[in-house]
Amino acid sequence: MTVKPATPPHAEMRPITIHLHGDEIVDPFAWLENRDDPAVIAYLEAENAYAETVMAPAATLRSQLYAEMRGRIKEDDRSAPVPRGRYRYYTRTETGAEYPLMCRAEGDDGTEEVLLDLNALAVGHSFCRLGPYEPSPDQQRLAYGLDTTGAIIFTLYIKDLTTGALLDAPIEQVDEAQWADDQTLFYTVYDAAHRPYRLYRHILGTSPAEDVLVYEETDERFNLSLRRARSGAYLFLTCYSHGGTEVRYLPTATPLAEWRVVYPRRPKIDYFVDHHGEQFFILTNDGAENFRLLSAPVRDLTATREVLPGRSDTLIDSIDCFADYLVVSERRAGLRQIRISEPDGSNPRYIDFPEPVYTCSVGANEEFVTDRLRLNYSSLVTPTSVVEYDMKQESWHVLKQEEIPSGYDPTAYVSERLTATAPDGTAVPISIVYRRGRPRNGGPCLLVGYGAYGYSYDPVFDSKRLSLLDRGFAVAIAHVRGGQELGRQWYEQGRMAHKPNTFSDFIACAEHLIAEGYTSPQQLAINGRSAGGLLVTAVVTMRPDLFQAVVAGVPFTNVVIAMLKDDLPLTVTEWEQWGNPAIEAEYRVMRSYDPYLNLKPGPYPHILATAGLYDLQVPYWDPAKWVAKLRALKTNDTMLLLRTNLQAGHGGHSGRFARLEEFAWEYAFILTALGITS
């Protein structure tokens, strides 16, 4: 396909040279890192205009895709209510409205109270995202956070749910918030590097300027995470990095007391804590790579007892304590399992799931004393379902399943689990879905992946995907190393010195799909976001011949250069994930796959990269510099487009319909690149 409807923008080269470990790294587009430079904004606007011009012939297709995607959304809808004491909390959406209403009702048939109308709160803002959302224990007040820039930094408000009035002054730069009692609220705030690093205590009726700094994390590798135990008896503050954790605890009955450490931090030792009765339950990798579960009396944390041993074939993901049950979320052979036992771990049983390939997770469960476990269940062909599982009767009841108003027949689609072989002989799983009867004749295929941070790319349902499946696509997920689909070792073998495995795994998955006839290089598109954007930009640099189209969403492309900037948000915390280029051995690994530094002259597939001007996770200049350099090196006439959202950050638009427009744009690009025009 030849696309020459306009002259692409030209980014001036202003080379700077970085000397590192005997190498000269030339960065011709470092000037794009200055967001305050009018020339930078002008360049991003020119790229946006160029992208719209190039894709103008696909305007009808884009509108059609948007209509299809929107037609699969039940616009006037209500979530399954979540019990919390005498109230039932839920969200509700109205036809035509971008944002939900946050609601509750007393009992199952009570009158609705609208606690927050995000549509009203979004007025005057191009972006609106709800962060912390925590009713006080007596449910008379609500602490909630709003982000109106896309930076994922929240302003915290406290609302009186009886009068509707806002209490005290707003609190800025907030990440998380939790109530200890009805008068005491704890919250974490960000530093300049977008790291949650301080814990404050706020007393209702006082000025936030008087709030007490309870804890400050001075190790720049560590972040803070605040949680309230389901029992309500404790707050937990987890200090976490990619190389270990440390947990502090506070009895909610004594909110002015000192926070105490469960176990001091140790290198490479992760542990997480929950509470039941007189015991803390501790999930840890100390002595078990895939984690084991211990318990210890709160009064003597040295007197540990092993509740569930570590197993080489099973990863323990998380635990949930209830008054009469212990729920353990596990992962075995790439699939999630839910183990239910007595609180001491005895009498274990597993939930049976109705499909061979699926995903399931513990959902919103606010009640401590209950027999009912709320689950979220989905598969590549089954719409997301909210399930209530009776842990006493061992019965399964679907409370709500995602409705597809325009119609959907799950029997028309097939999902499978395939296996590719990586260059080192490792078996790499692939989840794939396609329309029943689709021939294996090298047809269109979208391959997606992530492969970082231990994040497992589960095979969940996505109604937007139907627009591809119904046009003959197969959609596949490459479960590459760097996730935890096959246990902790799967993660460890895809980071730091082993990071290249992530890319060779993905290439192996693409080659397997081609060899088995599911697709061909001329009909294969790939897509990844953030660290998944690094994945697809790295592999297209390594094997540009293997793909026809690439969608790189907010891609992390300047790995070495970004990791040299220790004043950049997240850099120091990320050294334990990617490496520190100041260390030569780690630099050499990063340099081997860095998408920006490894670009070379030659032909490339059709490429769309996206960015967010207010993105603090992956700065807009990451994809902007990569595209600018690629423009200077690419020798063929395939599409090369950069779209920067000038009003949002890492997640793109916040409104549900505005987000659909972004997806429709990306799908139209993929279809156009593969020669599919309707």
The answer to whether 456 touches 483, Cβ cutoff 8 Å, is yes
Q: Is 344 a catalytic residue?
A: no
Q: Given the structure tokens 């009396």, which residue do they identify?
A: 297
Among the listed residues 571, 625, 633, 576, the one whose alpha carbon sits nearest the alpha carbon of residue 599: 633
List of E strands, 309-371: 314-321, 326-332, 335-341, 349-350, 359-362
Q: Assess whether pLDDT exceeds 60 at residue 1.
A: no
Per-residue confidence (pLDDT) for residue 634, from 0 to 100? 97
* Token couple for 416: 């499978």
Q: What is the mean pLDDT of the chain?
A: 96
CA distance between the termini of the chain: 16
The SS3 of residue 479 is coil
328-383 residue pLDDT tens: 999 998 899 999 999 999 999 999 998 888 999 999 999 999 999 999 999 999 99
- C-alpha 447, offset from chain centre: 18
568-586 residue pLDDT tens: 877 888 999 999 999 999 9
Dihedral angle at the C-alpha atoms of 67, 69, 75, 81, nearest 10 degrees?
180
Average pLDDT over residues 237-244: 95
Catalytic residue among 530, 594, 606, 622: 530
Strand order in the sheet with 395-401: 359-362, 372-378, 385-390, 395-401
Class assignment of domain 52-70+408-673? alpha beta
Q: Is 650 a catalytic residue?
A: yes
52-72 residue pLDDT tens: 999 999 999 999 999 999 999
Catalytic residue among 378, 615, 622, 654: 615
Domains in the chain: boundaries: 52-70+408-673, 76-115, 277-297+305-402
* Token couple for 670: 């993929």
The answer to whether 135 touches 84, Cβ cutoff 8 Å, is yes
* Token couple for 600: 């070379």
* Token couple for 475: 């959609």
Average pLDDT over residues 661-678: 96
- Is the whole model's pTM more than 0.85, yes or no? yes
- The strand pairing partners of 101, in sequence order, are 92, 117
Neighbours of 567 (CB within 10 A): 8
* Token couple for 454: 């231990």
Q: Is 530 a catalytic residue?
A: yes
273, 294, 325 from 319: Cα distances, Å: 9, 11, 11
Per-residue confidence (pLDDT) for residue 132, from 0 to 100? 98
Per-residue confidence (pLDDT) for residue 5, from 0 to 100? 57
Catalytic residue among 275, 479, 650, 653: 650
Class assignment of domain 277-297+305-402? mainly beta
Average pLDDT over residues 658-665: 94
3 falls in which pLDDT band (50, 70, 90)?
very low
CA geometry: angle at 582 spanning 576 and 588, to 5°? 85
Q: How far apart are CA 674 and CA 678, in angstroms?
A: 11
Q: How far apart are CA 65 and CA 166, in angstroms?
A: 42
- Which of the 8 DSSP states describes residue 112? E
* Token couple for 496: 């730091």
